[in-house]
């Protein structure tokens, strides 16, 4: 597929995930289903993903050049900054799918799996 991911790749993939909509969120673009699961910086260089704490720890440990916890209470809740230029399109897709699953309405997440 593609080598380095861009903000256009993130937006395209996020909006292809079932039920996702995009809306402004402060100075960022937010992508949500029942809840926000990723935000994209205005400059398009970074995105903040909502992971479970164990997922956040694994991403930051295995790809520290790409992922880091947000350095505040949001980070302690699993919010993780990703440098898009350090990720492939496939890696962005995988991160989006993980975060998207957490944002599904509770009744949907047990009944329907992501493709």
Evaluate whether residue 28 is within a structural domain: yes
Q: What is the domain extent for residue 34?
A: 7-106
Evaluate whether residue 100 is within a structural domain: yes
Alpha-carbon distance of 76 to 9, in angstroms, equals 27
Evaluate whether residue 36 is within a structural domain: yes
The reported pLDDT for the residue numbered 2 is 55
Q: Is the whole-model pTM more than 0.95?
A: no
CATH (domain of 92): 3.90.1150.30
108 band by pLDDT with thresholds 50, 70 and 90 = very low
Cβ atoms within 10 Å, residue 108: 13
**For the CA atoms of the chain, what is the radius of gyration?**
13
Evaluate whether residue 112 is within a structural domain: no
For the chain, what is the domain count?
Answer: 1
| Residues of the chain above pLDDT 70, percent | 91
Tens-place pLDDT, residues 36-73:
999 999 999 999 999 999 999 999 999 999 999 999 99
């Amino acid at each position: 597929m593609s080598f380095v991911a861009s903000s256009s790749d993130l937006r395209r993939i996020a909006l292809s995930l079932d039920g996702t909509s995009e809306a402004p969120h402060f100075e960022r673009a937010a992508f949500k289903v029942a809840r926000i699961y990723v935000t994209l910086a205005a400059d398009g260089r970074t995105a903040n993903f909502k992971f479970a704490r164990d997922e956040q720890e694994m991403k930051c440990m295995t790809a520290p050049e790409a992922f880091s916890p947000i350095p505040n209470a949001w980070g302690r809740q699993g919010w993780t900054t990703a440098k898009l230029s350090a990720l492939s399109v496939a890696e962005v897709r995988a991160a989006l799918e993980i975060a998207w699953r957490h944002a599904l309405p509770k009744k949907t997440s047990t009944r329907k799996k992501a493709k």
